[in-house]
Structure 1
């Protein structure tokens, strides 16, 4: 049973997360020949303050743009 774990910064619309889950499932099924029913996708959304980019939090980096 394939298990896919994805970590992303918070803030994306639910529709985009649904699309991500669908696309990852479809691609994995096609690539591995695994039934879609056996594929699990876990999406973890992290606060921007907990995501580092180049030594700064995603929140701080976003504020400077």
Structure 2
């Protein structure tokens, strides 16, 4: 039973996450030769304040980009 864990920044809609679940499951079924009901997918959502890129949080980067217009 494959368990696929994904970490992403919060903010995706339920529809986006459901589409992601479907597509990841389909790929696992195709490439691993398992049944869809054997695939587990877990999304760990992280606040932008806790996601760092180049020493700055994603929240700070987004705020700076918004200020630039």
Provide the rounded CA distance (Å) in 1 between the counterparts of 2:37 and 2:45: 23
Misfit runs of 4+, over 4 Å: none
Provide the TM-score with structure 2 as the length reference.
Answer: 0.91
Partner of 2:26: 26
In the alignment, structure 2 segments of 5+ residues that lack a partner are none
Map 1:9-48 onto structure 2 (within 5 A).
9-48=9-48
Give 1 or 2 for the bigger CA radius of gyration.
2
Q: Unmatched 5+ residue regions in structure 1?
A: none
Alpha-carbon RMSD? 0.5
Number of equivalenced pairs: 65
When the two structures are superposed, what TM-score results if normalisation uses the length of structure 1? 0.96
How far 1:6 moved relative to its partner?
0.3
